[in-house]
Copies of this chain bind each other. A is one copy, B any other.
Amino acid sequence: MAEEESQNLPVVLVLLPVRILLMFEEQISKKFRLVKSWESSMPTPLFLSTHAQSVRALLCSGRHPITSEILGLLPSLQLIASTSAGLNHLDLSECRQRGIAVANAGTVFSEDGADFAIGLLIDVLRRISASDRFVRGGLWPLKGDYPLGSKLGGKRVGIVGLGNIGSEVAKRVEAFGCSISYNSRKKKPSILFPYYSNVCDLAANSDILIICCALTDQTRHIINKDVMSALGKEGVIINVGRGALIDEKELVRCLVQGEIGGAGLDVFENEPAVPIELFALDNVVLSPHRAVLTPESIWALKELMVANLEAFFSNKPLLSPVKDE
A residues with a Cβ closer than 8 A to B are 111-112, 115-116, 118-120, 122-123, 126-129, 131-136, 138, 140-141, 144-146, 148-154, 171-172, 174-177, 271-274, 276, 279, 285-288, 290, 293-298
Contacts and interface: CB of A to CB of B under 8 A. Distances in A.
A141 B268 CA distance: 13
B122 A116 contact: yes
Given A176-B172, A274-B140, A150 B288 contact: no
Nearest to A276: B138
B122 A119 contact: yes
B119 A123 contact: yes
Contacts of A298: 148
22 contacts: A111-B152, A115-B122, A115-B176, A123-B128, A123-B129, A131-B286, A132-B285, A135-B287, A136-B279, A136-B286, A138-B279, A140-B271, A140-B288, A141-B273, A145-B288, A146-B290, A148-B290, A148-B294, A150-B294, A150-B295, A172-B172, A172-B176
Given A176-B172, A273-B141, A297 B151 contact: yes
Given A148-B293, A172-B175, 7 more contacts: A128-B129, A135-B288, A136-B286, A140-B271, A148-B295, A151-B296, A154-B296
A165 B175 CA distance: 14
Contacts of A297: 151
A287 B122 contact: no
Number of copies: 2
Nearest to A121: B119
A204 B136 CA distance: 31
Contact of A175 (B122, B171, B273): B171
A122 to B, nearest CB: 3
A175 B178 CA distance: 13
A286 B129 contact: no
Q: What is the predominant secondary structure among interface residues of chain A facing chain B?
A: helix
A252 B248 CA distance: 41
A115 B153 contact: yes
A286 B175 contact: no
Of the candidates A119, A127, A286, A288, the one having the most CB atoms from chain B within 10 angstroms of its own CB is: A119
B287 A128 contact: yes
Nearest to A171: B175
A55 B111 CA distance: 56
A290 to B, nearest CB: 6
Contacts of A126: 112, 115-116, 119, 290, 294
Contacts of A138: 276, 279
A171 B295 CA distance: 26
Nearest to A295: B148
Contacts of A132: 129, 285-287
A16 to B, nearest CB: 15
Given A177-B111, A274-B135, A294 B140 contact: no
Nearest to A297: B151
Which of A111, A135, A274, A297 counts the most B-chain CB atoms under 10 A from its CB?
A135
